[in-house]
Amino acid sequence: MQTILILGAGKSSTYLIEYLLESAGVKSRKIIVADILKRTAAEKIKGSSFASAVSINITNQEERNALIQKSDLVVSMLPASMHPIIAKDCLTLGKHFFTASYESDELRKLANDIKAKNLLFLNECGLDPGIDHMSAMKIIDHQKAKGNEIISFKSFCGGILSPESEDNPWKYKFTWNPRNVVLAGQGVSRYIQNAQLKFIPYHKLFERTEKINFEDVGDFDGYANRDSLRYREIYGLEKIPTMLRGTLRRAGFCQAWNVFVQLGMTDDTFQVDFPNGVSYRGFLNSFLPYHPTKTVEEKLQAYLPNMDLDTMPKIEWLGLFSDNPVPISKGSPATILQKILEEKWQLSPDDKDMIVLQHQFEVKGGKVNTKIVSSLVCKGQNEEYTAMAKTVGLPLAMAVDLFLDGKIKSRGLQIPVQKEFYDPILKALEGYGIFFQENQIPKNE
């Protein structure tokens, strides 16, 4: 009997748990779902006799180790900062470890020991990172096998609203961690274009977007996402002249979001302490230069003269010109902004989210270059069965299943860029309606 321990039973665990439960009986597996609230875990296992729900205080090492000791494999759906702690426990106790999060430097330090114990620690097996790696590697390996050279690779992904739920001027609501959305893009973004290294500071990021089109769901803004350079090696494209990974938002979003960036309202490095009862308008005003007679609206227009016509209504819709008090008046600007946005960008029970992912390759082979555009669109069903939970949870669940079936031979610290991962997982995802549409367009040099 194989035992799987799943840590964290939040929204993004829904599909993961259901997938693993489905075959648990046939495959003689036991699933333990642990959450800070036992009730949350219990809701997810839906009374299955192959699963148990337990509560856990994750900061208590004894509690953690008692659960990990009982299992063969641990899946962590906890916040990424917890992963190194769980990973070390798993290493000590000799258990396999799976996540959908980015491989961290702390995990890289354990790589030799993981390998020595013949364990598999698989990270980046969700959506982005995850499905993006797998679908990209399938194309890259295929093109290389044909003797073709990939001269450009851009990849964009976004978790947004399904068009039928775009019922506000931003066409956006929080479909995942609000804090990550508010802080997205901070630091410097790096990519390479026509063999030129390119760096974008945060305050230019939301201006340097490119338009990305999906046949069925229209236009989006793509902005560069962190360090694209390191993926050259991961994908075996060390010498590629153009490589960019980006994030997608509905067209127009970035222009308006840039207002907050320009004002300094997304800053999380210092604490402000407004008088109690400070208004939305007062909060906004503190980021504008003083003027003896101009209104806040006039000062904003004068300060950011490049704002397009569609942006002001978006700012207004959020209530930022109102005299009502802000929900919290102390904290970093980013924290206060997040609170303001959470009140406005909350999903309704019927709202549907959507995942969009697009790879754009330019491939050189024979006399013509070919442009390959491979696109994924996945829509959620409702507030619980979201496209995000589906596309993050299913690939991870499938990797767990394949591994426990003995079909994965890799050991050590891995991300799913090998054929033994991407072939069966992409195939299995198709059965759940998660598949790419590929267009190939010949393109003269």
Q: Does 312 sit near a second copy (CB under 8 A)?
A: no
Q: Does 276 sit near a second copy (CB under 8 A)?
A: no
CB 77 within 8 A of CB 10: yes
Q: Does 246 sit near a second copy (CB under 8 A)?
A: no
Please give the helix or strand (H or E) that residue 218 lies within, else none.
strand 218-224
Using the contact rule CB under 8 A, the part of the chain among 145-153, 289-297, 308-316, 339-347 near a second copy is: 289-297
Minimum distance from residue 9 beta carbon to a second copy (Å): 36
Question: Measured from the CB atom, is 52 or 193 closer to a second copy?
Answer: 193
Q: Give whole-number Cα distances, 410 to 60, 129, 443, in Å.
A: 31, 19, 38
The binder of a second copy chosen from 12, 48, 228, 285 (CB under 8 A): 285
Q: Does 371 sit near a second copy (CB under 8 A)?
A: no
Query: In whole angstroms, what is the distance from residue 218 CA to residue 35 CA?
Result: 39
3-class secondary-structure state, position 189: strand
Q: Does 274 sit near a second copy (CB under 8 A)?
A: yes
Percentage helix, strand, coil for the chain under 3-state DSSP, each rounded to 5: 35, 25, 35
Q: Does 104 sit near a second copy (CB under 8 A)?
A: no
User: From start to end of 270-335, where are the E strands?
Assistant: 272-273, 330-331
Q: Does 402 sit near a second copy (CB under 8 A)?
A: no
Question: Measured from the CB atom, is 274 or 432 closer to a second copy?
Answer: 274
Chain positions 169 to 208 lying near a second copy, rule: CB under 8 A, are: 187-188, 190, 193-194, 196-201, 203-204, 208
Question: Measured from the CB atom, is 49 or 276 closer to a second copy?
Answer: 276
Minimum distance from residue 378 beta carbon to a second copy (Å): 31
3-class secondary-structure state, position 20: helix
CB 47 within 8 A of CB 74: no
Question: Measured from the CB atom, is 205 or 354 closer to a second copy?
Answer: 205
CB 122 within 8 A of CB 422: no
Q: Does 445 sit near a second copy (CB under 8 A)?
A: no
CB 397 within 8 A of CB 16: yes
CB 420 within 8 A of CB 408: yes
Residues interacting with a second copy, by CB under 8 A? 187-188, 190, 193-194, 196-201, 203-204, 208, 262-264, 267, 269-270, 272, 274, 282, 285-290, 292, 333
